[in-house]
Amino acid sequence: MAQFQEVSKLSSQHPKPPGLVLQYGTAGFRSNAKHLDHAMFRTGLLATLRSKKTKATIGVMVTASHNPEEDNGVKLIDPMGNMVTAEWEGYATQLVNAEQDDLLIVLKDIIEKETVNMSQEANVFVGKDTRSSSVSLSQAVLDGVLALSGHSKDYGLVTTPQLHYMVCCQNTQGKYGEPTVEGYYRKLCQAFIQLIKNASNCTDDQKHLSVDGANGIGALKLHEMESHVKSELQISVFNDGSKGKLNYECGADFVKMQQKPPTGMEMSPGERCCSYDGDADRIVYYYTDSEGQFHLLDGDKIATLISTFLKELLTQVGLDLKIAVVQTAYANGSSTRYLEDTMKVIVRCTKTGVKHLHHAAQEFDIGVYFEANGHGTVLFSEVAEEKIQLLTQDPNTNDERKRAAQLLQNTINVINQTVGDAISDMLLIEAILAIKGMTVQQWDAIYTDLPNRQLKVKVADRRVIDTTDAERRAVSPAGLQEAIDSLVKKYKLARSFVRPSGTEDVVRVYAEAETQESADALAHEVSLAVY
């Protein structure tokens, strides 16, 4: 078939280095950018097949998020803006690892297994981050789509959540919004402006926010968005890529892991600040107090703020909708305790990786999910959205209920339900703080984090560690969990677990305890037990 001749021809321009093996992990393929050209081309091929199979538009995002500038990566986005299924992740790994001469065999095998109708049209949206390697790598993706005669639309520089949004808008015939960057700003910012109208007496201090753009795409996009919200939110962008290196000593991952401010940011005591990661799907907040001490408000604090706000609104509208917060094992123990005991909301714990959290959140009318590292969003079920919409239009609803229903409606519109989104989360958080007249210190004081420490351990083969109970307990190697249990017993309010990373060749160790010294010591002792 002529179609496959084109694949052969173009794939020879994107040859696979013999013997190289890559794995489609939690965040797609990720590696040093030098090794990825063939992976990009082949992901373009697979996205085209996925589009033919689903009869819908598929997204391909070229980014390595918080990884160093030298790395890159690629991720597929399914029709509703969600992650692809485990089966197709498996195909991605097979296709990318096929040696050059076997490519067509593996490709045809996938077509056969999935009974893909090759005469079906295909449509693929492509986006990229600001890495210098992203230019040629995203071109390789476009070549892959072309090789199978698919249509592609190159969105160029966009954040990861923006591309998820475009894919969802396209496949819902505009019901979710308009699939353009301008349409994205319009939808989110209009909802934000509506929300903020409910804030009384906002001071200039409250209207100001400093953002660390991680020298990446988020900074660029904030500049584009600024004019839409200027009257209500004055943003100072630091690490906007004009001087520093992407993710280097800045960005959400650096701030969360190092528990200190990014370099390149001017902070006065008490001032509200936040950091995005390299592709703007994560956000964390922080401030320094008058003694110069650093305070981090991570994904757990964000989930708490948002779920408190939503729960209060649900009480006001009198709708019986089930709200839950979804976390991972990395959630600070204090947050879980506060949510369950004080807030009385349902808390679920899932394995690390957004797809697990997203999936669990879909089981509730309102599912607030956040990883401690700041990746998260809120999902509203169709039923919840309908009930809220009806209330906003009901002539028999009293003013208080109507106001609360409007706030819920605008929250639905400001939040990017397809995936965690730093820009969208930031707008919602800013609106909530303004409406509640809350300072960042008051937000921080809702509960006190248990001191914690995360470490990485290099081992010969991280896959020997197998876990259960949402990764909170190790089932292999034999004796490891018992060793962790006895170390944990030495410290007050302590908890610790280990798991193999899905994105790096390391084992991650997490420990929390009553004091920072204890958390550090426990993390260190557990990492020795992992060897």
Name the site residues for Zn ion (rule: CB under 5 A): 65, 277, 279, 281
Tokens of 67: 């990884």
Q: Is 401 annotated as a binding residue?
A: no
Q: Applying CB under 6 A, does 352 fall inside the site for ligand NG1?
A: yes
Q: Is 520 annotated as a binding residue?
A: no
Q: Which does 352 bind (CB under 5 to 8 A by kind): Zn ion, ligand NG1, none?
A: ligand NG1
Give the nearer residue to ligand NG1 in terms of CB position, either 25 or 270.
25
Q: Considering only residues 10, 24, 26, 225, which one is a binding residue for ligand NG1 as defined by CB under 6 A?
A: 26
Helix (H), strand (E), coil (C) string for 183-247: HHHHHHHHHHHHHHCCCCCCCCCCCEEEEECCCCHHHHHHHHHHHHHCCCCEEEEECCCCCCCCC
Q: Applying CB under 6 A, does 27 fall inside the site for ligand NG1?
A: yes
> Length of the chain, please?
531
Q: How far apart are CA 200 and CA 84, in angstroms?
A: 43
Give the nearer residue to ligand NG1 in terms of CB position, either 425 or 430.
425
Q: How far apart are CA 162 and CA 10, in angstroms?
A: 29
Q: Which does 330 bind (CB under 5 to 8 A by kind): Zn ion, ligand NG1, none?
A: ligand NG1
Answer whether 319's CB lies under 8 Å from 257's CB.
no
Strands 71-77 and 57-62: antiparallel
Interface of this chain with ligand NG1, residues 166 to 225, rule: CB under 6 A: none
Give the nearer residue to ligand NG1 in terms of CB position, either 66 or 387.
66
Q: Applying CB under 6 A, does 332 fall inside the site for ligand NG1?
A: no
- Please pick, among 31, 51, 65, 134, the residue that the annotation labels catalytic: 65
Residues 6+ apart with CB under 8 A from 291: none
Give the nearer residue to Zn ion in terms of CB position, either 150 or 374.
374
Interface of this chain with ligand NG1, residues 353 to 372, rule: CB under 6 A: 353, 371
- Closest-by-Cβ residue to Zn ion is 65
Residues 6+ apart with CB under 8 A from 146: 6, 10, 44, 152
Q: Is 279 annotated as a binding residue?
A: yes
Interface of this chain with ligand NG1, residues 28 to 67, rule: CB under 6 A: 65
Q: Applying CB under 6 A, does 311 fall inside the site for ligand NG1?
A: no
Residues 6+ apart with CB under 8 A from 236: 208, 209, 210, 211
Strands 452-457 and 473-476: unpaired
> Minimum CB separation from ligand NG1 for residue 242, in Å?
26
Work out the burial of residue 429: count CB atoms within 10 Å of its CB; fewer than 13 is exposed, 13-18 middle, 19 or more buried: buried
> Minimum CB separation from ligand NG1 for residue 443, in Å?
22
Q: Is 371 annotated as a binding residue?
A: yes
| Distance, first Cα to last Cα, the chain | 53
State yes or no: is 133 an active-site residue: no
Q: Is 335 annotated as a binding residue?
A: no
Choices 16-24, 76-84, 113-121, 500-508 (CB under 6 A): range interacting with ligand NG1: 500-508
Q: Is 253 annotated as a binding residue?
A: no
292 phi, psi to nearest 5 deg: 85, 5
Chain position carrying tokens 């918080």: 66
Q: Which does 27 bind (CB under 5 to 8 A by kind): Zn ion, ligand NG1, none?
A: ligand NG1
Which among 147, 157, 172, 148 has a CA at the least distance from the CA of 126? 157
DSSP state of 471: T
Query: How many chain residues bind ligand NG1 (CB under 6 A)?
Result: 14
Q: Applying CB under 6 A, does 155 fall inside the site for ligand NG1?
A: no
Give the nearer residue to ligand NG1 in terms of CB position, either 232 or 253.
253
Q: Considering only residues 52, 75, 351, 508, which one is a binding residue for ligand NG1 as defined by CB under 6 A?
A: 508
Strands 283-288 and 346-350: unpaired
Q: Which does 277 bind (CB under 5 to 8 A by kind): ligand NG1, Zn ion, none?
A: Zn ion
Q: Applying CB under 6 A, does 502 fall inside the site for ligand NG1?
A: yes
Site residues (vs ligand NG1, CB under 6 A): 26-27, 65, 330, 352-353, 371, 373, 375, 501-504, 508
Query: Catalytic site residues?
Result: 65
